[in-house]
Amino acid sequence: MGAWPFLMGASDYSDYRVVVCPEFIESSGRAQAFRNLVETCLDGEADEAVRSRHIADDRIGPCSLFYRVSRVRKTDGSSAYDAAGRPLLRVDGVVVEREANCGRLDPQEADRLIERALPTLDSSFAAFSAAKRKIPATLSKQLVPEEKNGGPPRAPRPTPSPLILFLSAALVVSVLGNAILLWRDSGWAQQIAAMNEELTNAHKRIEELTQRLREAKK
Amino acid sequence: MIGGQELFFQVCVLGTRGSGKTVFLSALHNQLSVLDSRGDNFFVELDSPADANLLRKIYGQISNPDVDWPPGTARTKEFEFRCLHTTGAKTVPLFRFLYRDYPGGLLEDDCDQGGDYIREATKSAHALLVLIDGQKVLQSLEGQTPKGASLDDDLNTLIPLLNRGANRPVQFLLTKWDILHEDHSLQAVKDELLKNHNFAKFVEQRANLKLPVHLIPVSAVGMDFARFDKNDMRMKKVKGGRCKPFNVELAIGMTITDQIQLLSVHKKSNVGRLLIWITRAMRGSLGVLATSLEISQYVINLPSFVPVEGICRILKDASTSIQVNEDWLRSKIEEEARNIRDQKSAVQSVMKIQALRRKAFETHFPESQLVVLGEA
C-alpha cells in the first residue's frame, strides 16, 4: 500500500491551490480532476480531524485521500488571515492506493501517515506562502514504508518482574478489602482517616519490599 | 412559466480574490428570501435545498459578530435562483437568474481550466456585475500598500475580461462601502478609479457605444458591522454589530432595467447583441423542443406584455418633474403592488418597481452614473 503526500492552501498572495501534488497523479494527466476533488475537502470544519475521500479513476486507479483541515498558523501560533480578514486554511493529507480487497485505512493509521508527511508539506507550504507569484505545485514521491525507514529501532518498554507485579496486586487487594470493611463498620470521617492510614502503610510496605528486592538482586 | 416559457437571466459576477463575491451572494439570498411588499415584491428560492442551506450557513457565519469571517471559496459552484411572487394564495414564477461563484484566484489563471471557466461564463452572460473591492479602494485613496494585489492590479485583471462581454450591460459594484462612506465620497472613489488607464478606457468605450455603466456602492453587512483595521490590514467585525445589507438586491434590478432600456434605445441597430433573454422550454418535458430552444437561446425580444415604454418613462420623467425621495418610492411601490392580479401583472409590476428603485438610487447617488444611456 503506497502513500503520497498532498497539500492545498492559500496565502497572502495566492488563492486556494494545490501546493503539493502526488507525482503519479500529475504524470497521469489527472491533476485538474485531483484539484477539483481536493477543493471539496475545504467544505468541512477546520478541526484537524482526519477525513477521507475516495477516488475511482481509470487512469490513476482506486485511491483514497486522507486529510486534515487546519488553520494556517503564524510563527507565534496565532491564526493567519488574508487581507479580507478571512482565516487561511490548509489541507494536509496523503493519497493512499487502494489495492483490490484491501480494507480501508483506520483514522489513527492515516493520521500517522499525515504526521510523517508533515516535514515535506511544511517546507513546501513555507515556500508557497513566501512566493508573491504563482509557483508550480511540488510533486511528491511515495512515502518510504516505515519498516524500511532506516531510523533507530525503538527501545522496548521495560516489563516489571513477576514478583513486583504479584506484590503490587496483593497490596491493592489488601487496601481495597480493608477499605470495604471500614466502609461497612464505621462512619465517614473514620473511614477516610483509616483509609489514609492504610494507604500510608501500604506505601511504606511497598518501599520496604522494593528495598529488599534491590538488595536481593545485588 | 409565462405562456410555457420562463425568463432566464445569466449574471456573471467578476471579482478578484477577497472582493466579496460569496458574501454578496449569501447576503443577496438572505435579503431576497422573504417577499417584501414595500420593496422588490418578489422573493427567491433555490432549486437545491442543499445550496440554500449552504448559503444560509455562510450568511449565518458572516452575520455573527463573535465568529471569524467564513474562509475563502475554493471551488466553483452555480446557484440558480427562482424569483417568485405570492399573489393571494398563489405563488407565481417571475423569472430565474443564475449566479456563478468561484475562487477569485481563477481570474488570474489564464492558462488552465479555471481561466476557461471564467471566459465561458463571461461569454454566455446576459449581464456582467464587476465587484470592485472597497477595501483596496480605501487603501488606494489613503496611500497604503495592501497585502497582495492592489486596486490597480485588480482593475488590470478585471477590465480586459470585460472585452469578452462587449455590448452587454455592465455594472460596477463597489463592495465594502461601509468602510468608505464616512471619509470618502462616491465621487472621490469614481475619480480614483478613473486614474486607472484601463478603467478610463473602458468607460470611454462604453460611452461611445452609448451603453450605460454605473458604479453602485454596496455593503453585504451594512454600515455598523465591520471595520478595516489599519494595523492588521484586514477586515474585522465590530463587537455587538448587526448585519443590515445595503443596496445588495439593487444589482439584480439594475440588470433587468438595463436590458429594458437597451431594448428601447438600440432596438433597430444592434439589439441582437445587446439584448439577450433566454427562453427555456418546460424542463425535461419535450426534449426536441428544449434542444431547439437552446440552439436559438438568444431571443431578442422580451415578451410583448413587458411595459418597456412605461419603464423607460419612469426612468426618464422622474428626474425632471417630480421629487424622488423615500416617500415617493414607497407610495409608488405600493401603487404598483396593488396592480398585481396574476402572473403577467406581477412581472409587469415587479419590473416597474425595479425601475422605480433605480430612479431613486440614481437620484440619491447621481455620481454613480459613469455613463448615462445614450450619452456619447
Burial class (CB in 10 A: 0-12, 13-18, 19+), B82: middle
Query: Across the interface, do A8 and B105 touch by the CB < 8 Å criterion?
Result: no
Mind listing the pLDDT tens digit for each residue in A175-197? Answer: 888 877 776 666 666 777 777 88
The CA-based angle A17-A91-B26, given to 5 degrees, is 70
Question: Other C-beta atoms within 10 Å of A106: how many?
Answer: 11
- Which of A16, A32, A40 has the CB atom closest to B113's CB atom? A32
Q: Which residue has the cell 425632471?
A: B320
Nearest CA to CA, how far is B252 from chain A (Å)?
24
Which string of b and e fits A181-201 if b means at least 16 CB within 10 Å?
A: ebeeeeeeeebeebbeebeee
Three-class DSSP category at B301: coil
Q: What is the mean pLDDT of chain B?
A: 81
- B232 touching A (Cβ < 8 Å): yes
Question: Please, what's the largest Cα pairwise distance for chain B?
Answer: 61
Strand B77-87 and strand B90-101: the pairing is antiparallel
Q: Which of B21, B64, B73, B75 is the best residue to mutate to test the A interface, defined by the most A CB atoms within 10 Å of its own CB?
A: B75
Reported confidence tier of residue B139, pLDDT bands at 50, 70, 90: very high
Q: In chain A, what residues touch B225 (CB-CB under 8 Å)? A: none
Nearest CA in chain A to B229: A85
Pairing relation of β-strands B127-132 and B6-15? Answer: parallel
Q: Which of A47-61, A73-87, A150-164, B199-213 has the highest mean pLDDT?
A: A73-87
Judge: B105–A83 Cβ closer than 8 Å, yes or no: no
- Report yes or no: B278 and B95 within 8 Å, Cβ to Cβ: no
Question: Is B6's pLDDT higher than 80?
Answer: no
pLDDT exceeds cutoff 90 at B228: yes
Give me the helix-helix angle, B343-364 and B308-321, nearest 10°: 30
Q: Tell me, letter by letter, the H, E, C secondary structure of B169-196.
A: CEEEEECCHHHCCCCCCHHHHHHHHHCC
- Per-residue confidence at B112, pLDDT binned at 50, 70, 90? low
Closest Cα in chain A, distance from residue B177 (Å)? 14
**Least confident segment among A156-160, B60-64, B235-239, B348-352:** A156-160
- Average pLDDT for A120-127: 95
Task: Answer left, alpha or beta for residue A48, where phi above 0 means left and psi between -120 and 50 means alpha.
Answer: left
The CA distance from B15 to the nearest CA of chain A, in Å, is 13
Question: Which is nearest to B27 in space by CA: B67, B51, B63, B69?
Answer: B63
- In angstroms, rounded to a whole number, what is the distance separating the alpha carbons of residues A31 and A8? 13
The CA distance from B219 to B243, in Å, is 10
The crossing angle, in degrees rounded to 10, of helices B134-141 and B186-194 is 80
* SS3 at position B116: helix
Q: What is the ipTM of this complex?
A: 0.79
Pairing of strands B278-280, A138-140: unpaired
* Cα–Cα distance, B23 to B44 (Å, whole number): 17
Q: Do A83 and B18 touch (CB under 8 A)?
A: yes
Closest residue of chain B to A36, computed from CA coordinates:
B75
pLDDT at A149: 46
Q: Bridge partners of A69?
A: A91
Q: Which residues of B touch A36 (CB under 8 A)?
A: 75
In terms of Cα–Cα distance, which of B54, B200, B102 is closest to A16?
Answer: B102
pLDDT digits (tens, 9 = 90+) for B202-215: 999 888 877 788 99
- Which string of DSSP letters, residue by residue, matches B211-270? --EEEEE-BSS-TTSEEEETTTTEEEEPTT-----BSTTHHHHHHHHHHHHHHHHSTTTT
User: Is there a contact between B72 and B102 (Cβ–Cβ < 8 Å)?
Assistant: no
B112 part of contact set with chain A, CB < 8 Å: yes
Closest Cα to residue B216, out of B183, B245, B237, B238?
Answer: B245
Q: What is the DSSP letter of B325?
A: S
Decide which of A202 and A149 is more confident.
Answer: A202
Neighbours of B43 (CB within 10 A): 19
Which pLDDT tens digit goes with each residue over B323-362?
667 787 888 888 888 888 778 888 888 888 888 888 889 8
What single letter denotes the amino acid at residue A14? S
